[in-house]
Amino acid sequence: MRIWDIPVSKLCRQHLLGEHRELHAIWTYLTTPKGGSYRKHPETLRWFGREADLFARHDEQAWEMERRGYRHTSPLRVQGVRLRRSRAPLPLVNTIREQRLLLKAKRCECKV
């Protein structure tokens, strides 16, 4: 489970669509009373209280998907969700440099 801190325009198809799927899972854990092991995952925990930032990342993903010719048909449900942007920097699970190295090691078409 990962939301990269790399611009979505740099992600290959596989990582863009995979991140989008995982963002929806994290959104569900943050905005509903669902349980499960991913609720305590470091990637989920870093977005706790940062729903507006996660919503913004989803907008970036949707725009990039449509720019590439994919149909985006899965908006986030925001009813009852507090969408106030935080001024504090988003905590990272891995540094940007580490994330770029992880993507390079995958030998995919990401532009890192």
pLDDT along the chain (112 residues), means of 10: 96 98 94 83 93 95 98 90 83 96 97 96
Give long-range contacts, CB 8 A cutoff, 24+ apart: 88-95: 90/5, 90/46, 90/50, 90/53, 91/46, 92/5, 92/46, 93/2, 93/42, 93/43, 93/46
Q: For residue 72, is it within any domain?
A: yes
Nearest CA to 94 out of 86, 85, 103 is that of: 103
Rg (CA), the chain: 14
- The reported pLDDT for the residue numbered 55 is 94
- The reported pLDDT for the residue numbered 54 is 95
How many domains are there within the chain?
Answer: 1
Q: For residue 84, is it within any domain?
A: yes
Residue 44's CB: how many other CB atoms inside 10 A? 21
Helices (H) and strands (E) in the chain, counts: 4, 0
Q: For residue 110, is it within any domain?
A: no
Q: For residue 56, is it within any domain?
A: yes
Q: What is this structure's pTM? A: 0.91
| Structural domain for 90, as ranges | 8-105
